[in-house]
Amino acid sequence: MKTFVFTPENEKKFQEQSKKYPNSDAMMLPCLWLVQEQENWVSPEAMVFIANKLKKTPIQVYEVATFYTMFNLKPIGTYHIEVCKTLSCMMMGANDLIKFIKDTIGIEPGQTSKDGKFHLSQVECLGACGGAPMFALNGQYHENQSVSSLGDLLKECK
């Protein structure tokens, strides 16, 4: 079975963050974020790793990881595009962004491109409604977007 370990840099971050939290329960989410930063998803092996690290059972880690929608539980593309599908973004053109991605990259929400570069998700409000339509690219917000600005950004990703 494949194993997971933190990179030396993430092990250092883990040690530093551990000092800020009162117990291992509170460290669960920061630990899951570190794993996702490192691998772009949270694998079963990584859940076992976290469980050992925090002295929990793997099922306890699984319960938390599957509760929150922001954790990727299967491999996704190098570039994760999360287009907001809530009211303000929808009214301001989120569907045009989704259609553009479908037409240019060939993926629909929930799909990863064949080359493994892009994964598209439609997500609920990301709290940047004033900048609608918006999307996040690998967690970084891009507000007031258009098909043209999205196209420019995607070219930089290739």
- Residue closer to ligand FES by CB (options 129, 153) is 129
Judged by CB under 6 A, which of 54, 81, 84, 105 binds ligand FES?
Answer: 84
- Residue closer to ligand FES by CB (options 5, 87) is 87
Ranges of beta strands (E only) in 13-158 are 79-84, 118-123, 135-137, 140-142
As beta bridge partners, residue 136 has 82, 141
Residues 58 and 49 sit within 8 Å (Cβ to Cβ): no
- Shortest Cβ distance from residue 130 to ligand FES (Å)? 8
- Shortest Cβ distance from residue 136 to ligand FES (Å)? 9
Q: How far is Cα of residue 129 from the mean position of the Cα atoms in its chain?
A: 19
- Shortest Cβ distance from residue 151 to ligand FES (Å)? 20
Q: Which stretch binds ligand FES (CB under 6 A): 8-16, 40-48, 58-66, 79-87?
A: 79-87
**Does 150 interact with ligand FES (rule: CB under 6 A)?**
no
83's tokens: 């287009």
**Does 95 interact with ligand FES (rule: CB under 6 A)?**
no
Q: Rounding to the nearest 10 degrees, give the CA dihedral for residues 146, 151, 154, 158.
A: 180
Judged by CB under 6 A, which of 70, 73, 129, 157 binds ligand FES?
Answer: 129
Judged by CB under 6 A, which of 60, 72, 86, 95 binds ligand FES?
Answer: 86
| Residues 6+ positions from 9 with CB-CB distance below 8 Å | none
- Cα–Cα distances (Å) from 3 to 38, 47, 50, 152, in that order, read 14, 10, 11, 38
Residues 23-62 that bind ligand FES (CB under 6 A): none
Task: Compute the distance between CA of residue 35 and CA of residue 115 in angstroms, rounded to an integer.
Answer: 23
**Does 132 interact with ligand FES (rule: CB under 6 A)?**
yes
Task: Compute the distance between CA of residue 18 and CA of residue 30 in angstroms, rounded to an integer.
Answer: 9
Q: Which residues bind to ligand FES, rule: CB under 6 A?
A: 84, 86-89, 125-129, 132, 134
